[in-house]
Amino acid sequence: GRPVYAGNTIQRDGEIYQVDLMFYTGRRWVLTHTGSIDDFEDIADPNEAHERIKEFLSAGKFHAGWSSYKVAFMSQAVDVDTPLDRPTPVELEWYRAEPLVSVSSGSSAAVQAPDVARPNSARLLCALCNSVDNRCQYEGTCSDGKCICARKTSGTLCQIPPVGDGACDEDFNVIEFNFDGGDCCRNTCTSTEAFSCGVDSVDAFGQEIRPHYVGYPNCRDPSQLCSDDQCWRPLTDISGSNDGARAGGSIALSADGAVVAIYESGTGMVRIYEQDGPSWVQREGPPSQGRRSGIDLETIKDSSVLSLSHNGSVLAVGW
């Protein structure tokens, strides 16, 4: 079985209240709300909303495959025995749902499909952090399952950098973050309610003091390697585990560029590295293989293909 997720926010629509719901339908996860489920009675008291949902689902009044309802968003397909076959919708791709379409003429049954031409960039995260495979980002610290963020970052896993807020954060004044979202460049910074471009602080009366612009001339970093106006920041090289490792026959890079998997045909191992500033740090292997031993894939072939998930938490190997 898979869980049903109910939103913490209770939305008001006239005299009734609605709660967002996310559940699995057998192949996809969907996002809807209580007002879109035909058999769900309207919620008049917001204090009873979540208890009403619990009673409705536990009483057998709803079936994801047979009940009548419509959804707003649908996930990508979750096929059995694939890396996406997991009990939660974390890291799945989402799409807007197409309108309901009748199954046949004269039938009241209707179905919906994902509109693959209208993807949604949002991704779901597991809110419970740990130090193994769901770590806090940008040097945040995981304490009792919750992230304590550093470097002015925010979000459940400290995954939101403070870019584009009108304040120049020198930690993010690099090309990967578009020079702090433009905050560190005079001609691209946009002031917000929280910060005014180029102003270090304000006095007790709200008057701006010590205005100071921080940024590279013409918003360019001289340490970047540039060719035809395309700039790249070099990272340290990754060497094989030994002289005969023959690393690099197969390589996979996560979508965010923070994790890389490299196959060594000489050792039959796949080693996974995570970006740490300008360097790469090898991720620890399974406990049975010892610290930082890599993943033993002696049957893999040089022509095999490696693939990493969006954030590098799942590795798929095809041969």
| Tens digits of residue pLDDT in 92-122 | 999 999 999 887 776 677 899 999 999 999 9
In the chain, the amino acid numbered 40 is F
What residue ranges do the domains of the chain occupy?
5-120, 161-232, 247-318
Structure tokens given for 131:
């130090």
pLDDT digits (tens, 9 = 90+) for 53-91: 999 998 888 999 889 999 999 999 999 888 899 999 998
Q: Is the pLDDT of residue 133 over 90?
A: no
* 145 touches 179 (CB < 8 A): no
What residues contact residue 169 under an 8 Å CB cut-off, 6+ apart? Answer: 151, 152, 161, 162, 163, 180, 183, 184
CB atoms within 10 A of CB 198: 20
* 105 touches 120 (CB < 8 A): no
CB neighbour burial string for 217-230, b if at least 16 within 10 angstroms, e if fewer? eebebeeeeeeeee
Helix (H) or strand (E) segment spanning residue 50: helix 49-58
Q: Radius of gyration (Cα) for the chain, nearest Å? A: 25
Q: Mean pLDDT of all residues in the chain? A: 82
Q: Rounded to an integer, what distance in angstroms lies between the CA atom of residue 294 and that of residue 284?
A: 7
* 209 touches 202 (CB < 8 A): yes
* 272 touches 284 (CB < 8 A): no
Dihedral angle, C-alpha 203, 208, 214, 220, nearest 10 °: 150
pLDDT digits (tens, 9 = 90+) for 219-276: 655 555 555 555 566 788 888 878 887 888 788 998 778 889 888 888 878 888 888 8
β 94-97/73-75 pair status: antiparallel
What does pTM read for this prediction?
0.59
